Structure formats: structure tokens, C-alpha cells
Structure 1
Amino acid sequence: MSVRQAQGPAGRGTRPGLWREGLAALRSGDLRLIWLAQVVSQLGDGVFTLGIVVLTVELTASGLALSGTLMAQLLPYALLGAPAGALADRWNRRLTMVASDIARGLVVALLPLLHLTGWLHAWMIPVVAFLLTTGGLFFDPAKNALVPTVTPAGALVRVNALLAGTRQVLFIAAPALGGVLAAAFGTMTLFWIDAASFFLSAAILARMRVSGRVPALTPGPPSPRPSATPLPQGGRGAGGEGSPVRGHLLRDVQEGLRYVWRVPVLRLMVIVGTFINFILSPLPVILPLLFLTVLGLGTAAFGTALSFIFAGFLLGVAFVGVSGSRIHLGYLTTAAMAVAGLAVLALGAGPPLTVIHLIGLAGGAAVGIMEVAETTVLQRESTDAVRGRVFALYESVSQGGRAVSVALAGALSDRVGLRAMVYAVGALTLACAVLLALSPPVRRLARG
């Protein structure tokens, strides 16, 4: 059954039907628990992000130490992402999420506990950051693989929009809350809060009714999606749900790689997504310097521009959540990528501040649309038994490229100039959009 067939009469382009469907999706008990756990956990993540930066500065006052901590957060993607995704496709996904939250809560609690004993040293901070990201490598593929199984038919786009929008709101609000709490009760309070948020999230997820077991993938088409491709025969046996044949871990990783390579849409999304992440990742380094040193707009102007970008992200998420089921996701992703490229090019021209605000809205909306659309495509076009590996591979290569890109951004901007870097980012993003628009997999996805 296709998405349109699953929608029935209410999905024929009427906005009230779309809203009813979105609200009905959140009424699903397991989906509501996943969303609530995300709210709790990401509120903790937001205060942790502030706390780990402040703690590093307090202990070292070193930019190099802060850079090392940030790199430690990205390194696990390159080293452990693919094996973690393979394990997420072996293990019970609900239990994997619960165990990951408990483990991360214990890791974060080490910082205030070591501080109480007087044994906390600066080198321990990047170690904690590395371990925390490693725990997330198991949680995120399990969650992204589980969400489609607990989402009502036809509501996946709106559910992904809800999750992305919630994450963005907490990304904005949580650091501000963390700043108030740190000023009132000290930096270590932030880590106690984050640890508690992981434990509470685990308790919420443990209440889900879905079994979380990974279904065996038998030979032949296992999915109603026409483009979803089964694993090669021999990779998983027909042992029934929850009893896949346990092969070597490396073989599972290789199966995931072969699966992505054999499905044209997945292969394209991973390659283009990696390249786009690599291209856009320097912007957090370049834009502050562009505003403050080239455009001469000042800190306040940069802060308001960021607010418009964040607001645009929420508008983009809302748009795709309401209209995504009526718009082909392939073309929607392509259009959003083109808008993002044009927005970056326009920023490089140094327009008036009012125009910059409008550009920020458009660029933020484009990023929000791309995130929801890409997540939905990866979920729809992969079968349940391999979905964890698909997301882990995507995150591994894209985040690994991001780490390299951020490391190169500062040196390149000093050599070629900030404005030239901004133009290069915009032009390359536009080039990616053109290639995506011309690719046969996107056109086939649009027809489906």
C-alpha cells in the first residue's frame, strides 16, 4: 500500500485532514513516549552543551582544549558509527535505546562525581564527550529505525517534522536555561541535570508497548515500498521475528554498505548528504567572522540574524509537516537545497540587515525542510531489518566529513578570504541541487 492509499479521503490535499492526521499520530502511545523522551533528553543535552564548554574554559582557558573537546564529540562517528548501526540492527531496539540512555546518564554523572572527589582533570572532559557521543551512536539508529514502525500510515513526514521542530526549540531554549542555572547554582548543576534527563528518558522509553525486536529479513521483497530492496540472500535467515541469524559483525556492516549501494535513492542521499554536510559545516565558523569583521554589523546584529535562521528552521519544518505528503520529497529536497545555496550567496554580497533577516528565514527554512525530507526518504526507502545500518552509515560519513570540514574552515578562510569562502559554499550547494535535480533516482522517487 502506498502512502497515498494509506491516507484515504482525508489525504487528498485538504488541510484539516492533514492536521487531524498529525494529531492522531501523536496520540499513538509509543510514539508519544518517544517524543516525550526526546523532550526530556534533549533538554538535558542543551544544558550539557553549554556546561561542557564552560567547564573546559574554567579548567583550561585554552582554545586548543575546547577544540579538542569538540573534535572528541565528532570522532566516534568516523570510528564506530558503522559497527554501532550493525549492532542496532541485531539488538532489540527499544532495549537498545533504554540501555543507551542509562549508560549516557552514568557517563555524564562522572563529571560532577569526580569534581566532588577533587579528581576531575581537564583531559577527562574530551573522554566523557567521546563516550557520550558513542552512546548516541546506538540510540539514534535504533530510534530512527523504530519510529516508522510506531507511526500511523501516511503520517511519517509529519512525525519527523514534529521531532525535528521539537529538537530545534529545545536547541534554542535549553542553553539559555542552562546559563541561568549555572549562574545560580554552579556549572556542575548542568551535568547533574543532564544525567537525570537520561535516566528519566530511559524510564519513559521502557514503558513502550512495542517489542522493539528486529524482524528477520527473508529472501524476496519484504516491504510494500517499491524501491525498498531486500538484503542479499544468506545475510538474514528466515528465523521469524526477533530471531535473525547472527553472522560476523563485519559481515553485517558489509551487508549494510551493499544494501545502500544497491538502492539508488539511498546511495544518492548518502553521497549528496555527506557532501552537503561537508560544504555547509564551515558556516558556523565563517558567519560570525563575516558579520563582525567584513560586514561590520556587530554582535547584536549577528545574534538577531541567528534568531531569524532558527525561526526559519521551524517554519521549514512546519511547512514540510503540513504539506510534505502532497509534495514529492525528492523535488522538495532539491528545491530546499537550491534555496539554501542562494541564501548563502546572498549573504556574501553583504545586503542591508533587513534583507539579511529575510535571507536567514529562507536559509533556515531550507535546512529544516532538507532535514525532515532526507530523514523520511531514508526511512521509507530502507527495509526494517537494515534501517539502523542505513542511518548509522549516513551519520558516520556525513559527521566524519563535517569534522574535516570544520578543521579546514579556519585555515582556508584566512588564505582565500571570508567572502570568497561564503561564495564557494553557496555555489557548491547550488551545484549539488542541480545534480540532485538531474539524477534519475530522484525523478523515480518523485513519480512514486
Structure 2
Amino acid sequence: MGKSTVSSKDKLPLWQPLTVRDFLLLFIGESVSLLGDQFFLVALPWLTIQLTHSPVSLGAVLMAAAVPRAILMLLGGVVSDRISPRLLMLVSHTLCALLTALLTILVWFQGTQIWLLYLFAISFGIIEGFSIPAARSIIPTLVNQEQLTASNTLSQGATQLIVLIGPALGGLLIATVGIEKAFAIDAASFVFSVATLLLMKGGRKESVVNDKSITKPSLRSKSLSLIAGIREGLNYVWHNPGLRAVLLVITAINLFFLGPLEVGITSLAQSRFSGGAIALGTMKSAWGGGALLGTLMTGVLRYPPRMGVLMLSLASIQGFGLFLLGFIPNILLASITIAILGCCSGFFTVLGITWIQKQTPSEMLGRVMSLGMFSAFGIAPFSYALAGLLADLNLIILFSVAGGIIVIINTLLAANPSVRSIE
């Protein structure tokens, strides 16, 4: 199994991947699209909570998107391996543009009802089941292996910078000119991303790994059913001890983190802190700012710790921070805590994605990355449902139970030498 540490030969100038035309187009298009998404990600929870005044309903809407996304993500990984990730992203972004434009019209004419939000959430979840694996696997098709760390740092750095400024702008926009404007901006951003994808020439699968032993898929492998393709991906990960352990740990931790954070901070903005949508946008931006800092830290760390130690350490910090959110009385302290959680997430995301990409041959990359995303998003339906129920009882109970369980899980895992020794 390959080392997870970043060697000196990987320390190319951070800007170097931007000289690759297709990567530059991807970087620009996805950055604009992601900025639009930040407006959407503030608008949808806020619209739901305004219509229902219920954390349970908010959790249910988020779950409506998460269930099809989780079910289809493994299938999306197989499709991404069989066809061009760029083509899959092109189709997905086009559909998202159409759906978001339709939602904008409904909100504009005040025709939104809660059942429609469920329908839109399900539709977006279906599309994301295919677009997320494609987006995670396209970068190695555009740059060579030595450029992977710099490419992922650029991509994640831009992501976290946008997550820093986008939600605050979205909250301010919603509070001043109306929620329909936020949806309209997201629709326009998808159109821009489609244009940049059309300008790309397409990825080069053979450039991902410079290994002559890796051959193009045979006619027999191309004829395998999609279910067989999923089974191949599962079998590959199961027989790779490092990949197996990392994905299982991420799955366990995310069950008690994704939902409590998303449902919890929206409920905090409504019930504990003044400011409403602006408070929600501020906390989401605090997450983005922390994640940006964590991402940039990977660019200066020459010898990161072992993957097992890194994963358990950062997850323990996140569990303790989540616990504290249940008792923090004001928006300033809550934002600082959320920023620390985001820093841990941003730091691990870059190193984790690069680590997985370097463990995996090109013909398996879509499926393995889809399993990585499934470890996070696949557990989301249960996490959102649990968070909605606990938040409806009491926010202190939500954060205390979720954060406490994460700390306990990490303590138990830290006692296992095989997990700590993952390189």
C-alpha cells in the first residue's frame, strides 16, 4: 500500500495545475457554480423552516435529498468509470440549472408548498448521486499524479473560500431583497458551469497513473452489468485494509456529525441567536473560513502524520466542538467553534482525497471515490433524521449526544493499533 505522506516531489508550485487548460476551465466553472450553491444552501433550509417552523421538517427535507443521493452514489461511481466524468457533470449541471430555475419561478409567485420542497429535494438528490462521484474523479483525468496534491489544494481552497463568503452573502441577500434572488443566482451559476464544461476537451484517463501494468478496460469488463461494477468496487476496497478502515471510520463518525451540524445551526439561528437568516449565513461562513485555513495548512505541511492518527485526532476535536455548541450562548463564540470544526474538516479533506486517489488505479477511481463519498453522504439520511428528532426535543440534547458519541467512538478506535498505524 502506498504511503500517505506527501513527498517532496509533490511540492510543485500551487498555481502550476492552472496552466493545464482543462483544469483551469474546470476550476473556474466549478468555483462559480459552488458560489451559487452557497446561496441555495442558505435559502432552502431557511425557506423550509419559515414554512414549517419545525426542525423535524427541516431534517426530513434534507433527508429527502440524502436518500436518493446515497442509493445512487455507488451507481454513479460505476457510470463515471464507464463514461467521461465530464459528460456526466455536463448532464447533471444542465438538469440542476433547469430545476433551480423552476424553483425560482415558484418562489417568485409564492407557489411553494412543503410537498414541493420534498419533490425538489428528491430530484436534486438523484442528480447528485451521479454528479458527486464524477466531480471527485475528474481531476486525476486532467492532471498528472505529481500535480494531484496541488490540484486538490487549489480545488478545496477555492471551495472553502467560497463557503466562507457565500453563505453570509446569501443570508444578507435573503434578508434584504428576497429568497427568490438566491435561487435565481444558483440557476445562473449552473448555466455558467455548463458553458465551461462544453469548452473543455475532455480528460485523459491514461495520464492519471504512469503505470504500464494498468490497461484499458477489456470488452468483457465493459459488458459487465452496473451491479457487477459496484461489486468490483466494493471488493477492491474490502481487500485493501487501509482503504477499508478509513471508509468505515468516516462512515461511523459522519452519522453523528453531518445532521447535527446542519440541522443544529439552522435551529440555533432561529431559536437562540438574533439575526435569523443573517445569523445562519454567518455560521455557515465561519465553517467556510475555518475550512479554508485547514486547506491552506496542507500546502505548508511537508510531513503530515499517519492517516490513522490524523483521522482520529481531527474527529475527536470535531466531537468535542459539537458538544460545546449545545451550551454556547452567543453567535460570536458559536462561529469561532464552527470555524475550528471547519478547519479540521478542510485539513483532512485535501489529504484524505489525495491519499485515496494515490491508493487507487485509474480504472477503479470513480467507484472508489463514490464509496468515499458514500461514507459521508450515504449515512446522511439517518443522520438528518436523528438530528431532526433530537433537535425537536432540545438543542442541548442534540449537540451533547452527537458530540459525546463521536468522542467515545474515537477513544475506542484509538485503542486499536491497526487503525492508528494506517499510513
- Counterparts in 2 of 1:253 and 1:215: CA distance versus 1, 3 Å: farther
Match of 1:169 in 2: 161
- Counterparts in 2 of 1:325 and 1:25: CA distance versus 1, 3 Å: farther
Match status 1:409 vs 2:387: yes
Percent identical across equivalent pairs? 28
- Counterparts in 2 of 1:222 and 1:441: CA distance versus 1, 3 Å: farther
- Counterparts in 2 of 1:134 and 1:437: CA distance versus 1, 3 Å: farther
Q: Which of 421-430 and 354-363 deviates more?
A: 354-363
Q: Deviations over 1:228-267 (max 9, x none)?
A: xxxxxxxx8435xxx9522111111111111111111221
SS in 1 for 2:298: helix
Match status 1:160 vs 2:161: no
Match of 2:289 in 1: 311
CA shift for structure 1 position 437? 7.3
Task: Give the counterpart of 1:41 among 30, 33, 46.
Answer: 33
Query: Could you tell me whether the CA contact under 8 Å between 1:102 and 1:202 is conserved in 2?
Result: yes
Match status 1:334 vs 2:312: yes
Q: Distance in 1 between matches of 2:402 and 2:7?
A: 40
Alignment of 1:100-111 (within 5 A): 100-111=92-103
SS in 1 for 2:301: helix
CA shift for structure 1 position 356? 6.9
Match of 1:137 in 2: 129
Q: Distance in 1 between matches of 2:61 and 2:375?
A: 20
- Counterparts in 2 of 1:262 and 1:32: CA distance versus 1, 3 Å: same
> Aligned pairs, how many?
415
For structure 2, the 5+ residue unaligned runs are: none
CA shift for structure 1 position 177? 3.1
> What TM-score results when the alignment is normalised by the length of structure 1?
0.76
Query: Could you tell me whether the CA contact under 8 Å between 1:341 and 1:426 is conserved in 2?
Result: yes
Match status 1:204 vs 2:184: no
Match status 1:322 vs 2:300: yes
Query: Could you tell me whether the CA contact under 8 Å between 2:263 and 2:384 is conserved in 1?
Result: yes
What amino acid is aligned across from residue 91 of structure 1 in structure 2?
I
Match of 2:142 in 1: 150
Query: Could you tell me whether the CA contact under 8 Å between 2:38 and 2:167 is conserved in 1?
Result: yes
CA shift for structure 1 position 192? 3.0
Match of 1:277 in 2: 254
- Counterparts in 2 of 1:325 and 1:246: CA distance versus 1, 3 Å: farther
Task: Give the counterpart of 2:115 among 109, 113, 123.
Answer: 123
Q: Distance in 1 between matches of 2:208 and 2:217?
A: 6
CA shift for structure 1 position 30? 2.2
What amino acid is aligned across from residue 406 of structure 2 in structure 1?
T
Kindly indicate whether structure 1 or structure 2 has the higher relative contact order, using CA contacts under 8 Å at least 6 residues apart: 2
For structure 1, the 5+ residue unaligned runs are: 12-17, 224-235
Match of 1:394 in 2: 372
What amino acid is aligned across from residue 396 of structure 1 in structure 2?
F
Q: Which of 181-190 and 132-141 deviates more?
A: 181-190
CA shift for structure 1 position 155? 4.1
SS in 1 for 2:379: helix
> What TM-score results when the alignment is normalised by the length of structure 2?
0.80
CA shift for structure 1 position 105? 1.1
- Counterparts in 2 of 1:4 and 1:216: CA distance versus 1, 3 Å: closer
Match of 1:86 in 2: 78
Query: Could you tell me whether the CA contact under 8 Å between 1:89 and 1:214 is conserved in 2?
Result: no
CA RMSD between the two structures: 4.1
CA shift for structure 1 position 306? 6.6
SS in 2 for 1:22: coil
Q: Which of 253-262 and 385-394 deviates more?
A: 385-394
Query: Could you tell me whether the CA contact under 8 Å between 2:142 and 2:207 is conserved in 1?
Result: no
- Counterparts in 2 of 1:256 and 1:210: CA distance versus 1, 3 Å: same
Query: Could you tell me whether the CA contact under 8 Å between 1:77 and 1:395 is conserved in 2?
Result: no
Task: Give the counterpart of 1:430 among 395, 407, 410.
Answer: 407
- Counterparts in 2 of 1:255 and 1:142: CA distance versus 1, 3 Å: same
Match of 1:14 in 2: none
Match of 2:229 in 1: 252
What amino acid is aligned across from residue 218 of structure 2 in structure 1?
A
SS in 2 for 1:167: helix
Q: Distance in 2 between matches of 1:346 and 1:120?
A: 36
Q: Distance in 2 between matches of 1:443 and 1:270?
A: 15
CA shift for structure 1 position 212? 5.2
